[in-house]
Structure 1
Amino acid sequence: VGEDAPVLERDLILASALVRDAMESYHSDFKMTEKAVRIYNVYHHWGLQLVLYIFILINHLLAVFERPAVHGCELPIWGTMLIEFICLSFYTFRLAQAASFSRAEVFWKDPKNLVVMGVVGVTLIDMVIFAAMEMGGLTGMGIRCTRPLRPFLMVNFAENKQVRRAVRNIRNTLKEIIYALILLFMSIALFSLLALKLFQRRSLFYPDGRPYFKDYFDIYFSLYVLITTANHPDVMMPAYNDNALFALFFVVYTLICLYIFMNIILAVIYYNYRENLKIEVQNMVAVKRDNLSRAFDLLKVRDGDSFIITYSRFGALLDKIPPARSEVTKKILWYVLDQNGDNKVDLPDFMYLADLLNVGIVETEETQNCFEKFMPRVYNCVVSQWIRTITAHIFFRYLFDLLILVNAIVIGLDVYEAEWFFLTVFSIEIMLKIYAFGFVQFMKQAWNVFDFIIIGSAVVGTLYEVAVGASNNSRTLTLDILLVLRVLRLVKLIRNFKKFRGIINTITNLGPSILTFGGVLFAVYYVYAVIGMELYRDKITFYGGFNGTHSMETQLYCGNDKLKHSTFYATGYCKNNFNNIFSSFVVLFELMVVNQWHILTEGFVHVTSKAARLYFLLFHLSCVVIVLNIFTAFVLEAFLLEYTLDKTKLESAVETKIREMGLKLGKQPRKKHSKEEGGNGDSKPQFPEMYVDSDHNVLEDSLDKPDTQRNPNVPDMSDSVKSRFHIMKKRRVEDILVMMFEDELEELEIMAMAAANVSCTCPCTCGKKQAAM
């Protein structure tokens, strides 16, 4: 190996920035200077990112205080505009920050920067025009046209790359499904024409007296609603009542447009979304590899005819990448990359560093229980050991799971006298677990925290009830809620069933991905809500009742006589209006659920015109047909992947190294000396609580390999290191995306490595690569 001189501070700073970008799949478009990288690091500081999120939240929340505002929350126009101006100023500051470290040719061609600058610019112009109209005596006539553009700011800032990726995929998928949608609309148009000719001259009426299928566009809208099933069978009944054969028309239409075309649209969406997503992931991996390659070039040293990175440089690099890592953690990561044990890492192995650093390695230092620390003689006496052994036994958990079930039955039977017994028993359970495992270890388990809060609150509430002398018939709402929460302890029983536990864990791991689509839905909702408020505010008003219960005649029919004989008013939908942002979101959610959405639509048609249908139809298309179907496609793919895969290959490789080093959580020091050498052979811990955590999960689920089967290149640190390690199984969105297309990506890597004539030793994918080669 060539001389391993200390790496320059500048190179370390640049390399660490490149590796961090690789971890997050960012394009490293900053200038390759130390000053630019320091500004870049400040730009990505979590504090500034948090401030950005706060300003984005405040900017969107302005809709609560702007006309039409939520009741009692309206602020003066100058107040909301001042707040918005401050938000826009911070957005401009962030853009200026990005421009200061970015290469000019990249910054001024980046679409997301151009969108942010454009939205900020037109918003300022809109604010000036609106303020001029207000001060010029045109109060109430001005419209803030740029309010629907606020979600574009949320999407296009660099920090929201997940939402932006989802939006980009939806946009690309839309190009492919537009032809299927056109074919669907043409089919509806054809059936609408047939319906017009079949029913126009038959003098049929709906039960409320409306003419049945007399106008082509009314028919078209009714048949469109029919493919959502919201108006079935109501829309067919007048014709069916007139002649039973007319049912065939609606059966054929439903089979073709609902069961065939809508499923074809779902299939097209699924296929094209997956293809577009694969392209996104390939680009993401390419960006990651480019960043890591550039970082490697900054740190490499010559080793004969090749270049490698030594452990000293590897450790110096990790010191620059948060969070801080112990020396043992660095060695674990090093041994995962340095699979062949030659104490070198070359470029192919270095390519896995970003993914490796994203594996959640948790270091836990074994400490004394507070009871053992302050009263060791009592804690280690025979009686105490017996109590700890019983508490740590798995049947201890089974017993209290059974009591949880019995408690739920007793609560259902309203046997109040038994509550004290169960409250006492569950309190004893918590105290025993705290005594056996220690308070810190006890609180590390989510189920224990849940128990502690529920039972602790129930104890405090029950004691309060006794103190104030409440009778059985006058329990407070707080105590009733606590009883319900105690029933929620039944959820704990799920952990005893592997299939249930797998489903819950899968849903938990999908949480970040679901939140990403939640951000997309919020953006769609916000745009339509603001537009809806401008179009339909004060057209419908809720006065607290309907059907003649109002004190004034002007309050009848949702405050609008046009709704007098409408189904909208008869069903009590007056509160479904666009008079503020909250009620608008409720209406849009009801539209997304689909049931009765045609009645909601007709209510606003009555108070405006039939053109209002276009607004609701577009929302249904964009939200239900496109976004939710794409979300369904993603969840199906991701759920099947998560449900069938326990660990990623890198996670398995890290766990293997941790186990080989004797540092797995719950692992006791190995006793390697034989009896002839003065040792007493391998030893087991004396008490069962050393094998399980505070929720009775086994810590060490497999025995050590015999020394003859152990990797000789990995040292045993079980005796010299007190800390223990385990993997935190928490999936990032990027991890799930890469796992979706792992096989395709590996094939591309195999071809790339074959073309470059390089080999791989990293355990995460080498097996497949070597087999393929």
Structure 2
Amino acid sequence: MPGAGRAAGVRRLRRQPSEEPPAQEEDQNLLLAAAYVSDAQYNRNVPFETSPRAIRLYYFYNHWTMQVAIYFFICVDLSLALFEEPALFPLPFLATSLAEVLCLTAFFGRLVHFAKVTPQMVFWKDMKNICIMVTIVLTLIDLIIYGSLEAVNVHSVRWSRALRPVFLINFPESRQIRRTFRSIRNTLPDILYVFLLFMFSVLIFSLMALKLFGDRGLKTVEGLPYFTNILDIVFELYVLVTTANSPDVMMPAYNFNWWYCLYFITYTIINTYIFMSVFLAVVYNNYRKHLKNEIRKLAYLKRHKMIEAFNILKVKVGTEFVVTEAQWRRLAKVVAPHISSPHLELLLRISDEGQKGHVARKYNSQQILDIVLILRILRLLRIIVSIQRFRVIVTTLINIGPTILTFGGLVLVVYYVFAIIGMEAFHGKVRFSDPNFTSPDALVCGNPALKDSAFARDRYCKNNFNDLASSFIVLMELTVVNHLPLLAGGFALVTHQAAKLYFIGFHIVVVILIVNIFIAFILEAFFVAYSLEKSEVETAIEKKIQELGVGIQEEEMQDGMLVDNVDAKDSGFSGDDGDNKRKDLKSLYFRIASKKYRTVDALLQQMFESEIAPEEEGPSLDEILNFSPGDLYPKNPNFENSA
């Protein structure tokens, strides 16, 4: 297991002092401890080998240039769809295929680098790595087959393009998107039962509509038979749940008999208002439950890494194990090389209980993450708005900014897959001509099957799947839902009625599932913002700052006189003895930052902070990594009263 591998690595560094000079061994231990602290700081869950070579490779793996490079190649890989047929900017197949092979080479190199720093058993058991390797192989096979067929002028389908988002999801840098997908996956079984009940209700009402209206000889506005085909009825009633075709779908029956409106009113109340509200409730409850489990696991892993770092650097002083001040300063400089002297001094004073000259191991809800979080949350107070009633709302909107980006990445993945499928199924079926053209071909969007259709009559010709950009625009319109039946009906006319399943599937995945999850998260974020002024960690650190005599009251700060980051009247610590340092420290003024979360993890952690076990170290690493969705209250005596 990862924990065993790391522990063995620590023992190797400690049990073989004769193989390395003491200073070199101490440096290696410091780098290993700093790697654990950095992992905790940036919420990385990467089990890595602890040999000196593996540690250096791990630092290089996490360097920002490497992360920027892998994101660059992911963006290039995804953007290739703009230049491949059907293309917005056509390029020869040779050019796009060479670019894709270059991206695949970069992905494979990144994977090999990851394999060099990770224990082999862990690497081969990680499904993320398997997915990346399988996708690379499948893409190469598809490129070879497609290129061979193109060489003999035989058109085929580039089916591997729909797999490109796999790289965005499965590389370790995309843990936020991956966590969201994992939470959705865990939520699906509970949603499925509600969805099946909902579809059963739609089917029952469809059968009722067939009996009520099928033999009345009613016609739609287009002159077509009204509610005579069970599949058309199911589609129309499903769309009615979205209100996109209301009241149009009701009017033929309503014009025939006033009492028939009661059928549609009953259907709308049951399926639109009751079932859709139940969907939101189930999504909110289950998504929150699984997300809470993810954050508990994140907090326990962070705590575990901090304990590992402490155990590497600890020395015995009297009856307790501590980290000396000198070693602590070296660690802080490795973890945060650009930290200012005043910031570093304050961090030490907060971590050094009783000002004893060393940092002891104490684990409680306030101090577990102090060393990690204080590097991020010690900022000067920034006044976002001056009106108190608006502050919570505006602050919350700012706080959820990173989360919106995460959900944006999730939507991008879903849009990309549906866009690729749509381009393969519908490209060339609908063509746009200049609005001034009045030729018969232009009036039917380049397809005679659209003659006299609402799609052509309303000039929706530009809503097509002829390139990636146009596909994204159509999918955005489908997300808004308003013209779902018109768009689905148009593409069904130029292909087959089964094409409506594509649009229904998109609505289920994006509107019912992802949008409801996003709403659930917004609700939770606002509940936290309205109920909590500061997190426990912020409160504890602020109290400690006041005890040290280096804090200031909010009312002492005047508008327009805020100083960025950490400011000091006397920013130097030139004195050699502790009294001079303490005197210099007294001249500093610090405040906890505004609640502007820099990462999604910071917001999530506060949302569930009160439900994370406060006193004990937490479960073992094996138990943490094997948490199941139902393990919100682990069967561990240390946590029986923690949640």
Alignment pair present for 1:512 and 2:402? yes
How much has 1:151 moved relative to structure 2? 0.8
Q: What aligned pairs does 1:189-200 form with structure 2 within 5 A after superposition?
A: 189-200=203-214
* AA matched with 1:624: V
**Deviations 1:85-144 (CA, angstroms, capped at 9, x unpaired):** 100000001001001111000011111111111111100110011111111231xx1111
Identity of aligned residues (%): 40
Residue number in structure 2 paired with 1:424: none
**Deviations 1:276-316 (CA, angstroms, capped at 9, x unpaired):** 11111121122112211111110111133432222222111
Cα distance in 1 for partners of 2:94, 2:619 equals 60
Residue number in structure 2 paired with 1:250: 264
Which of 206, 215, 219 is matched with 1:205 structurally? 219
* AA matched with 1:243: N
Which of 584, 590, 597 is matched with 2:477 structurally? 590
Cα distance in 2 for partners of 1:230, 1:30 equals 52
**Distance of aligned partners of 1:607 and 1:9 in 2 relative to their CA distance in 1, 3 Å threshold:** same
SS of aligned partner of 1:309: strand
* C-alpha contact (below 8 Å) 2:379/2:564 kept by paired residues: no
Residue number in structure 2 paired with 1:740: 607
Cα distance in 2 for partners of 1:269, 1:736 equals 20
Residue number in structure 2 paired with 1:294: 308
How much has 1:202 moved relative to structure 2? 0.1
Cα distance in 1 for partners of 2:405, 2:150 equals 39
**Distance of aligned partners of 1:625 and 1:209 in 2 relative to their CA distance in 1, 3 Å threshold:** same
Which of 528, 536, 544 is matched with 2:434 structurally? 544
* AA matched with 1:618: G
**Distance of aligned partners of 1:341 and 1:723 in 2 relative to their CA distance in 1, 3 Å threshold:** closer
* AA matched with 1:332: L
SS of aligned partner of 2:359: coil
Residue number in structure 2 paired with 1:47: 65
**Distance of aligned partners of 1:716 and 1:245 in 2 relative to their CA distance in 1, 3 Å threshold:** farther
Select the structure of larger CA radius of gyration: 1
Which of 457, 463, 472 is matched with 1:570 structurally? 457
Residue number in structure 2 paired with 1:360: 377
TM-score (norm 1): 0.71
Cα distance in 2 for partners of 1:603, 1:303 equals 78
* AA matched with 2:606: M
How much has 1:36 moved relative to structure 2? 0.3
Q: What aligned pairs does 1:672-687 form with structure 2 within 5 A after superposition?
A: none
Residue number in structure 1 paired with 2:144: 128
Residue number in structure 2 paired with 1:497: 387
Shifted more, 559-568 versus 340-349: the winner is 340-349
Residue number in structure 1 paired with 2:558: 692
**Deviations 1:489-541 (CA, angstroms, capped at 9, x unpaired):** xxxxx934222233112111110011101100010000001110111011111
* C-alpha contact (below 8 Å) 1:336/1:653 kept by paired residues: no
* AA matched with 2:393: I
* AA matched with 1:106: V
* C-alpha contact (below 8 Å) 1:666/1:724 kept by paired residues: no
Cα distance in 1 for partners of 2:409, 2:64 equals 20
Alignment pair present for 1:531 and 2:421? yes
* C-alpha contact (below 8 Å) 2:378/2:565 kept by paired residues: no
Residue number in structure 2 paired with 1:104: 120
Cα distance in 1 for partners of 2:217, 2:137 equals 57
**Deviations 1:671-690 (CA, angstroms, capped at 9, x unpaired):** xxxxxxxxxxxxxxxxx9x9
**Distance of aligned partners of 1:737 and 1:362 in 2 relative to their CA distance in 1, 3 Å threshold:** closer
* AA matched with 2:98: L
How much has 1:146 moved relative to structure 2? 0.6
**Distance of aligned partners of 1:272 and 1:354 in 2 relative to their CA distance in 1, 3 Å threshold:** farther
Cα distance in 2 for partners of 1:363, 1:325 equals 15
* AA matched with 2:458: T
**Cα RMSD between the aligned structures?**
3.0
* C-alpha contact (below 8 Å) 1:363/1:723 kept by paired residues: no
* AA matched with 2:495: T
Alignment pair present for 1:351 and 2:368? yes
Cα distance in 1 for partners of 2:642, 2:229 equals 65
Q: What aligned pairs does 1:207-356 form with structure 2 within 5 A after superposition?
A: 207-349=221-363, 351-353=368-370, 355-356=372-373
Cα distance in 2 for partners of 1:502, 1:517 equals 22
**Deviations 1:346-395 (CA, angstroms, capped at 9, x unpaired):** 3334732454345333489xxxxxxxxxxxxxxxxxxxxxxxxxxxxxxx
Cα distance in 2 for partners of 1:573, 1:627 equals 27
**Distance of aligned partners of 1:27 and 1:185 in 2 relative to their CA distance in 1, 3 Å threshold:** same
**Distance of aligned partners of 1:699 and 1:151 in 2 relative to their CA distance in 1, 3 Å threshold:** closer
**Deviations 1:232-270 (CA, angstroms, capped at 9, x unpaired):** 111111111111111111111111111111111111111
**Deviations 1:154-179 (CA, angstroms, capped at 9, x unpaired):** 01000010011011111111122111
Alignment pair present for 1:631 and 2:498? no
**Distance of aligned partners of 1:561 and 1:620 in 2 relative to their CA distance in 1, 3 Å threshold:** same
Cα distance in 2 for partners of 1:261, 1:605 equals 27
Cα distance in 2 for partners of 1:694, 1:601 equals 55
Q: What aligned pairs does 1:399-478 form with structure 2 within 5 A after superposition?
A: none
* C-alpha contact (below 8 Å) 1:665/1:699 kept by paired residues: no
SS of aligned partner of 1:522: helix
**Distance of aligned partners of 1:698 and 1:502 in 2 relative to their CA distance in 1, 3 Å threshold:** farther
SS of aligned partner of 2:143: helix
Cα distance in 2 for partners of 1:348, 1:752 equals 16
**Deviations 1:35-88 (CA, angstroms, capped at 9, x unpaired):** 101100101100110011111111111111111111xx2110100111111000
How much has 1:772 moved relative to structure 2? 9.0
How much has 1:322 moved relative to structure 2? 2.5
* C-alpha contact (below 8 Å) 1:693/1:699 kept by paired residues: no
SS of aligned partner of 2:274: helix
* C-alpha contact (below 8 Å) 2:380/2:562 kept by paired residues: no
Which of 77, 81, 84 is matched with 1:66 structurally? 84
**Deviations 1:431-490 (CA, angstroms, capped at 9, x unpaired):** xxxxxxxxxxxxxx99xxxxxxxxxxxxxxxxxxxxxxxxxxxxxxxxxxxxxxxxxxxx
Cα distance in 1 for partners of 2:60, 2:165 equals 25
Residue number in structure 1 paired with 2:630: none
Shifted more, 293-302 versus 722-731: the winner is 722-731
Unmatched tracts of structure 2, length 5 or more: 1-21, 567-577, 621-638
Cα distance in 2 for partners of 1:175, 1:311 equals 52
**Distance of aligned partners of 1:188 and 1:606 in 2 relative to their CA distance in 1, 3 Å threshold:** same
Alignment pair present for 1:163 and 2:53? no
How much has 1:647 moved relative to structure 2? 2.6
* C-alpha contact (below 8 Å) 1:12/1:299 kept by paired residues: yes
* C-alpha contact (below 8 Å) 1:563/1:607 kept by paired residues: yes
Alignment pair present for 1:30 and 2:48? yes
* C-alpha contact (below 8 Å) 1:529/1:584 kept by paired residues: yes
* C-alpha contact (below 8 Å) 2:346/2:585 kept by paired residues: no
* AA matched with 2:405: L
Q: What aligned pairs does 1:699-738 form with structure 2 within 5 A after superposition?
A: 717=582, 724-729=589-594, 730-731=596-597, 732-738=599-605
* C-alpha contact (below 8 Å) 2:548/2:586 kept by paired residues: no
* C-alpha contact (below 8 Å) 2:549/2:586 kept by paired residues: no
Q: What aligned pairs does 1:174-185 form with structure 2 within 5 A after superposition?
A: 174-185=188-199
Which of 28, 33, 39 is matched with 1:21 structurally? 39
Cα distance in 2 for partners of 1:253, 1:551 equals 42
**Distance of aligned partners of 1:354 and 1:196 in 2 relative to their CA distance in 1, 3 Å threshold:** farther
* C-alpha contact (below 8 Å) 2:431/2:461 kept by paired residues: yes
SS of aligned partner of 1:266: helix
